[in-house]
């Protein structure tokens, strides 16, 4: 009788251990998936903020600001002509 009780206890203990190990694996999978997402996000942000990209974007911004200034000047000239002040 004592042996049967010990066997049942061992089987129950084994099942509990299997359950715990399954929970650990599930938790580990979630952690690894989250880490993969964070690594991917970090790579994307690193690419966006890389010195080469920032330099290129600032150069493009400078060109756009220059174009806007030129267009503004041309528009002011057209408005003056429309309102009667023609250039010489």
Which DSSP string do the residues of the chain spell out, in sequence order? -HHHHHHHHHHHHHHHHHHHHHHHHHHHHHHHHHHHHHHHHHHHHHHHT-HHHHHHHHHHHHHHHHHHHHHHHHHHHHHHHHTT----
Mean pLDDT, 10 residues at a time, the chain of 88 residues: 90 95 97 97 94 93 97 92 71
pLDDT at 64: 97
pLDDT at 22: 96
Q: Where are the domains of the chain?
A: 1-49, 51-88
Rounded Cα distance, 21 and 86, in Å: 86
Q: Residues 47, 53: contact at Cβ < 8 Å? A: yes
pLDDT at 87: 61
Rounded Cα distance, 13 and 20, in Å: 10
- What is the pTM for the complete model shown? 0.54
């Amino acid at each position: 009788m004592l042996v049967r009780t010990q066997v049942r206890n061992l089987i129950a203990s084994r099942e509990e251990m299997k359950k715990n190990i399954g929970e650990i694996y599930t938790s580990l999978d979630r952690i690894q998936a989250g880490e993969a997402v964070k690594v991917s996000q970090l790579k994307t942000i690193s690419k966006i903020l890389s010195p080469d990209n920032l330099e290129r974007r600032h150069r493009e911004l400078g060109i756009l600001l220059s174009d806007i200034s030129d267009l503004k000047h041309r528009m002011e000239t057209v408005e003056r002509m429309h309102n009667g002040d023609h250039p010489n």
